[in-house]
């Protein structure tokens, strides 16, 4: 039977502190799954590391949130309204996803 317990994902590098048994037990206790690259494959998590770099630098760095709920809403707003719609992406030849999609249908 498949476990359908909701979980969060924790992305990290391969630092010894993140791979330690006690830390992994703590993550499991809170239904958090670890995500890290395989040994010798430093680009495994490059896409998510790039996303978090953008999120921190463009949206939440230096901002204090009164509640976890407020932080979650800010992250949702970043993803839904900015990152996926208007932010320029180098992989799309510096177009926003909306502009890139408009080009496809023309």
Q: Is there a single domain that holds both residue 28 and residue 67?
A: no
Taking only the tens place, the pLDDT of each residue in 1-56 is 555 556 688 877 777 888 888 999 999 998 888 888 788 777 777 777 788 889 99
Q: Is there a single domain that holds both residue 36 and residue 67?
A: no
Mean pLDDT for the stretch of residues 87-102: 92
Q: SS3 of 95, please?
A: strand
Q: Is there a single domain that holds both residue 62 and residue 100?
A: yes
- Could you tell me the residue range of the domain that residue 83 belongs to? 45-106
Q: Is there a single domain that holds both residue 24 and residue 62?
A: no
Structure tokens at 47: 């896409």
Confidence of residue 88 (pLDDT cuts 50, 70, 90): very high
Q: Is there a single domain that holds both residue 66 and residue 78?
A: yes
pTM of the shown model? 0.61
Q: Which residues are paired to 9 by β-bridges?
A: 33
Q: Is there a single domain that holds both residue 38 and residue 50?
A: no
Q: At CA 93, angle to CA 87 and CA 94, rounded to 5? A: 30
Number of structural domains in the chain: 2
Confidence of residue 80 (pLDDT cuts 50, 70, 90): very high
CB count in 10 Å sphere of residue 83: 19
* pLDDT value of residue 17: 83
Q: Is there a single domain that holds both residue 72 and residue 103?
A: yes
Q: Is there a single domain that holds both residue 86 and residue 66?
A: yes
């Amino acid at each position: 039977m498949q476990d359908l317990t909701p979980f969060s994902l924790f992305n990290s590098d391969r630092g010894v502190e993140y791979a330690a048994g006690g830390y992994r037990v703590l993550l499991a206790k809170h239904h958090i799954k670890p995500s890290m690259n395989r040994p010798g494959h430093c680009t495994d998590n490059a896409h998510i590391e790039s996303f978090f770099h953008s999120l921190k630098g463009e949206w939440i760095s230096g901002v204090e949130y009164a509640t976890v709920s407020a932080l979650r809403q800010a992250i949702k707003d970043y993803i839904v309204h900015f990152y996926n719609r208007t932010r320029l992406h180098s992989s799309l030849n510096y177009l926003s996803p909306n502009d890139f999609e408009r080009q496809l249908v023309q």
